[in-house]
A and B are shown apart, each in its own frame.
Chain A
Amino acid sequence: MEAIDLQTQPRPPIKARLSALFSKIPMLGWLAGILCTVLVEYLLGDWLSYILYLPKIPVLFGCLIMLKQPILIPSVLAYVALVYAVPIIGVGRLTAGFTNRLAARLDQWPIWISALIHLSLLYLALHYWTDISDYRLLVLKLTMIAVMLTLSINVINGYMGEFSCSHPGFMALGAYAASTITLVFFANDRLFGDALLPPALGPFFFPLALIIGGLVAAVGALVVAIPSFRTRGDYLAIISLAFMFIVKSLVENIEWLGGPRGMGSQPNWSTLPVVFVWMVLCIWVINNFVRSILGKALNAVRDNETAADAMTVNTRKTKITAFMLGAFWAGVAGGLFAHVMRFINPGTFSIQRLAEILAMVYFGGLNSVVGSIVGAVSINLISEMLRPLEIYKWIVIPLILILVMIFRPPGLIAFREFDIKKILAPKKNR
């Protein structure tokens, strides 16, 4: 028996072989592959799509073209394989030895240098990727803002375990506060008249406007945070929902904010680098927060408030911090959103927005930074890619979410820690 087994030694299953192929590529290798892909598309994209009879470069991995003209599916698949799959995997695998040595070198330096290098490579790739079309740029910016929103609601809904419905309200507060500042001081518009300061100074003060927007949202969060001392769960959900409606109604009734007509002509300062830097900041701050003592206290409050209290966790301080931090980042995201869309009105921040944010956070996974990023990116990309389905899009996306909820109730990647050091580390040759 044994001899036969030795002779026909079975090949390892395909999954194991694939994972053996990929497990040696460090993050740096993947980034090199992505950069290569982007360069290939940047230089050869037009020519390749001409050869493959594509009308133009497929914007979002060809999904739009495939759904509109099924006859082009083979050429789109060929394009995706040539431009995306082959360079990413090929370059990543071929340079694995070199990038592993490089990553090992970087690993000895302080983590922030290594992180900065990786981030700048990623930014470079995104910059050239979005250079192809403005639509890509817009989708990417909105996706990054969605990542910030999802992360910030995960602090409250995931790490603290409340069901907060107030996020569109926080977002509205931040968006209106930041827009008011930029419009009053740095832009000529119909609501506030001429700029008080030279508009050229604007981009330098834009971060300040965003921070003020975030702070306004954080102060607004006290309205929800203070009742949360006495009540939890469902009643708090109603309070937060009421807060959302109150903010919307309040903005609708303030005439100098534009009322129901909204506020427009914000300057176009939410460029790709600005949004990228804020998103990275947001991920960094929130990841550090949830891994800190205060973050662990959040989990303790979620799992058993009385026990946490007995273990000297200051529950009030914990709750207030979580709400204010979540609201701050939602406010910043709102400010960025206002300057991307360059028009906001109270209707932007209503029930639909709430459903979208909740879908993203519960799809990605509670209590997990990676999950939030994955949830926000995938829901945003899916909803953009399925655009040609028109109205049926809103049947397909809910169905996907229902399936995810049934088969993985806490979300795709829930309860996972996000450790930047592990992600950037070189892969050992096993």
Chain B
Amino acid sequence: MTGFRENQENLFELIHRVLGDHLPSEPLEAVYLFDLSSPNKSSILERAIKLYQQGRVRKLVLNNEGDLDGSISYQQCAEELIARGVSKSDLLAFKPAPEFRGPTGRYNASSQGEGFVRFIKESGYRSVGCIAPTFHLVRAFVAVVSGLAHNNLQNTVRAYAIPGESQSWDEEIVHFQGAIKGPRKNLLKDELARLASYSARGDQVSGEVVLNYLNQREGGNRADVLR
């Protein structure tokens, strides 16, 4: 399977497994905060702070290019996290990968996923997570798993998907490097289209690969039970 539109069963399973991912009992070593653009920022920061305060994650990771529309800088987010009790030494940063950038030259989910994976490879982390807004989480997680596959880490790093705090589906937001504006619910169609096209051109792995990864991560062997 190469795309996301070919198999409805895989899609149904993938959405459940990603949106309802089950975190391990041990704290994650590092969690990346995806997509801190203004309409989504509070959802991501609240979830990150909650996990940090509960001792479920040790380090919070930002990318130091700021958000996609340039309205929120790395510095602003770092200051907010520190003001809310995150220790400065527990905040880390990386640069999104130069590949996979959109037509505007700004980074996208793939360049964030790839940059995060290169960063964890250098740091030696083995148990990581990514937080993204609920409408964007599937693509964000697929980008991280794709980064693991590109860097041959799919058998050594356990990555988990973490949804941001729930937000109204009717709120008007801007997304895709400012290219699309509308209620959050309307962005879902584009998310699926992008999953399909990025997978088709090889930037991201397929749904089947992600499902195999999840089973392998949990210690199972999906190959034994595949139809």
Partners in one complex: no
Binding site for A on B (CB under 8 A): none
Which residues of A are at the interface with B, using a C-beta cutoff of 8 A? none
